[in-house]
Amino acid sequence: MNKPILQRARTEAETALIERFDQGDRRLVGATDLRAAAMQRFADAGLPNRRVEAWHYTDLRGAMRTAALARAPDTATLPLARQCLAKPLAQTNAHRFVIFNGAYNEELSSDGAPPAGVTVSSLASALAVGDADVLDVLKADTPGTGDAIVALNTALMQDGVVIRVAPGAKVERPLAILNLMTGGFAQAAFLRSILIVGAGASIMLDEATAVCMPDATQANEALTVVVGDGARVDYAAQVAEQGANSVALHSLFVTMGANAQFNGFCLVPTAGLVRRQIFARLEGEHSTISLGGLSLLRGKEHSDTTLVIDHAVPNCVSREFFRHILDHEATGVFQGKVVVRQHAQKTDGGMKSQALVLGEDASMNNKPELEIFADDVVCGHGATVGQLDKNQIFYLQARGLSRGEAESLLLEAFANEALDLVADEAVRARFAGQTDDWLAHRSGR
């Protein structure tokens, strides 16, 4: 379906991206064939636009007129990066890996060895030596392989973190990946991280993307999580400190073994254009995947969450719960597709998307899809769009709250129901704090 109907002229951004690849960049090490094939896929498809079904509500070709440049590594901006790390959103008790301006930076990362059972290397070094595990992960044919943005990421990936968790390791201390950009000009970053969790292990991963001086940055990130049999992964992500004209693209791939568990959550508070795609495949029986998210948008912000859950085996459970609060002229998009293959009997799938539209000119687009080929399943989805209940506001106002306070209280309650899905307490508290900030900004407190 990605084939263009008519041969059309390439946009400036598309040409720039293809040329940059063709000219060769010595920083793009390893996986030469993989990169070339991916670039070809991108060149054929071009930047996604409304004609591509999976991008029906997000016109990236229109939003990305020019392609930003990747910044060359330098040491001059390190002090700025340190200041950024001191900001609340970067505060974490986790063992932190920092990718700064497109390269894994040991200096900014947490001191000392990672927790027991965890081994870490940078993606660039893994590719340089042709790490077989890493190449296998990159070559795997997942539901998202055909996506143009994923292809672009594979072709131009600069660096990232490769984390391996030994089988049976119960890692207590969370791990964090922070993708940090200097910003201050139109800067691009193509990052790819990989988390391979051995059988029976458990881990918490916290991922954030931030820009020190918010500007028209363009980030294209991907994270692959391989959850081994009986393993458990908790994952929390957030987009933060982005400029109004920024583009933040993120693709998450999850493949799960048997009896495994994956809990993922993403907070999107203020952004330019954010697209988060999740491609999950359940390959082992009796596994559970739970995905959640909260997007708080104002101005002309645009946030798109698109996910595909592929039930390839019987007896698995999937749950998705996403909420949007849309103020001003913001646009929210939720597209969720649950695929149940013919042999995936006894699948239990539930998906819910709810949005509160506050701004007169805000809009919400929902597309919850079911694609079911097995007969003994229980699958359902619900989607609602509405505004704050006038009766509830009246109730609170009658008890002495101002209208603004009443609204904030109701919005906070709406947001908190989504945040309840965040497994890690520290992360939940941080997200709740950011939600408060957003609401405070809204009511002008």
Chain residues binding other proteins by CB under 8 A are 5, 53, 56-57, 342, 355, 357-387
Q: How far is the CB of 348 from other proteins (least distance, A)?
A: 11
Q: Which is nearer to other proteins, 348 or 436 (CB)?
A: 348
Q: How far is the CB of 342 from other proteins (least distance, A)?
A: 7
Q: How far is the CB of 365 from other proteins (least distance, A)?
A: 5
* Distances, alpha carbon 75 to alpha carbons 160, 215, 334, in Å: 19, 20, 40
20 neighbors 67 (Cβ within 8 angstroms): yes
Q: Which is nearer to other proteins, 5 or 398 (CB)?
A: 5
Q: How far is the CB of 371 from other proteins (least distance, A)?
A: 5
Cβ neighbourhood burial of 335 (10 Å; 0-12, 13-18, 19+): buried
Pick from 269, 244, 147, 248: nearest CA to 188: 248
Q: Which is nearer to other proteins, 145 or 365 (CB)?
A: 365
Evaluated on CA atoms 205, 206, 212, 215, the torsion sign reads positive
289 neighbors 319 (Cβ within 8 angstroms): yes
Q: How far is the CB of 329 from other proteins (least distance, A)?
A: 10
| DSSP 8-state secondary structure symbol assigned to residue 311 | E
Q: Which is nearer to other proteins, 348 or 412 (CB)?
A: 348
Q: How far is the CB of 414 from other proteins (least distance, A)?
A: 15
- C-alpha 259/C-alpha 65 separation (Å) is 45
Q: How far is the CB of 417 from other proteins (least distance, A)?
A: 17
Q: Which is nearer to other proteins, 319 or 367 (CB)?
A: 367
Phi and psi dihedrals of 44, rounded to 5? Answer: -70, -40
Pick from 39, 175, 184: nearest CA to 94: 175
- β strands within 141-231, DSSP E: 161-165, 175-183, 187-197, 202-213, 218-227
- C-alpha 125/C-alpha 242 separation (Å) is 29
Q: Which is nearer to other proteins, 78 or 374 (CB)?
A: 374
Residue type, position 74, single letter: D
Q: Which is nearer to other proteins, 50 or 65 (CB)?
A: 50
Q: Which is nearer to other proteins, 125 or 392 (CB)?
A: 392
Pick from 250, 356, 240, 363: nearest CA to 300: 363
| Neighbouring residues of 127: CB distance < 8 A, sequence distance ≥ 6 | 29, 30, 31, 134, 135
User: What is the DSSP track for 230-247?
Assistant: T-EEEEEEEE-S--TT-E
Q: How far is the CB of 37 from other proteins (least distance, A)?
A: 26
End-to-end distance of the chain based on CA atoms, in angstroms?
48
Q: How far is the CB of 243 from other proteins (least distance, A)?
A: 26
Q: Which is nearer to other proteins, 172 or 376 (CB)?
A: 376
Angle between helices 32-45 and 12-23 (to 10 degrees): 160
Q: Which residues pair with 96 in a beta bridge?
A: 176
- C-alpha 412/C-alpha 435 separation (Å) is 8
Q: How far is the CB of 383 from other proteins (least distance, A)?
A: 4
Q: Which is nearer to other proteins, 58 or 202 (CB)?
A: 58
